[in-house]
Amino acid sequence: MTELGLQELEENIRLVKSRVEQAARLAGCKPEEIHLVAAAKMNEAARVQAAIQNGITLIGENRVQELLSKYEQHAYEGGELHFIGNLQSNKVKQLIGKVSLIQSVGSEKLGRYISREAEKLGICQDILLQVNIGGEDSKGGLEPVHLEPVIHSLCVLPGIRIRGLMAIPPIAHKHGENLCYFDRMRQLFIDMQQKRYDNVFMDYLSMGMSGDFEDAISCGSNMVRVGSSIFGLRPYMR
């Protein structure tokens, strides 16, 4: 990593943190109530470790293979790791015990699978349920109408604990375009909180990325997943 790269990374982290704090204040919550997850895809282990050295505490990865490779290289030491990407059942086993939160559980089947694998290791895996809030065919996640029945069936499983909801709205082309989705997510989140299911903790509402995290926070997000604003544009974005 070049010196310039490192300086830029430090500066980006400072800037994103201050934007998160500002958005939190505007939304009437305490800055420390908003969890900043640095989405690290396509950034090498040294760069991820440098982010942790510079005050990032949560790292999100969205590919199992990439996560395992960086894990071997001790990229995440001193930080906490979340899985935020599409997850196939046959890769679940490799994640359990390494990640503190699987944010992207978009089907009952996957939830059951995670529970089974976690049980084998004698642990309880925290998860978020991913909601396909834009109703896009290309994206994973539960349809909003399926959320309640799925929570019902998953909340009794001993190997998982539902900690909240996650959403990836459609790509916004204009500023503010995702506010309607964020707002719908806030409503769903509040509805699910009010149901007070046993063993379900609606603590986290994970939404908002580089292009829209301030809007997401204004709609009640308390967990933002920020990649390019921290690490710089990924190769395919340049």
Ligand X SMILES: *Cc1c(COP(=O)(O)O)cnc(C)c1O
∠ CA 33-35-39, rounded to 5°: 170
**What CA–CA distance (Å, rounded) separates 19 from 113?**
38
Could you tell me the smallest distance in angstroms from the CB atom of residue 224 to ligand X? 8
- What single-letter DSSP state applies at residue 85? S
Tell me whether residue 41 or residue 93 sits nearer to ligand X (CB atom).
Answer: 41
Could you tell me the smallest distance in angstroms from the CB atom of residue 131 to ligand X? 13
Tell me whether residue 43 or residue 115 sits nearer to ligand X (CB atom).
Answer: 43
Tell which residue, 35, 91, 38, has the closest CA to residue 60.
38
Tell me whether residue 197 or residue 210 sits nearer to ligand X (CB atom).
Answer: 210
Which residue has 């503010």 as its token pair?
A: 176
CB crowding 188-222: b at 16 or more within 10 Å, else e: bbeebbeeebeebebebbbbbbbbbbbbbbbbbbb
Could you tell me the smallest distance in angstroms from the CB atom of residue 229 to ligand X? 6
Tell me whether residue 211 or residue 220 sits nearer to ligand X (CB atom).
Answer: 211
Could you tell me the smallest distance in angstroms from the CB atom of residue 27 to ligand X? 19
> Dihedral (C-alpha) 18, 181, 105, 79: value to the nearest 10 degrees?
0
Tell me whether residue 107 or residue 228 sits nearer to ligand X (CB atom).
Answer: 228
Could you tell me the smallest distance in angstroms from the CB atom of residue 61 to ligand X? 9
Q: If DSSP codes are grouped into helix, strand and coil, which group holds residue 119?
A: helix
Residues that bind ligand X (CB under 6 A): 39, 41, 62, 84-85, 168, 209-211, 225-229
Could you tell me the smallest distance in angstroms from the CB atom of residue 168 to ligand X? 6
Could you tell me the smallest distance in angstroms from the CB atom of residue 199 to ligand X? 26
Quick one: CA dihedral 115, 66, 4, 16, positive or negative?
A: negative
Q: What is the per-residue DSSP string for 151-200?
A: HHHHTT-TTEEEEEEEE-PPPPSSTTTTHHHHHHHHHHHHHHHHH--TTE
Tell me whether residue 1 or residue 237 sits nearer to ligand X (CB atom).
Answer: 237
Closest residue to ligand X using C-beta atoms: 227
**What CA–CA distance (Å, rounded) separates 46 from 211?**
25
Tell me whether residue 104 or residue 115 sits nearer to ligand X (CB atom).
Answer: 104
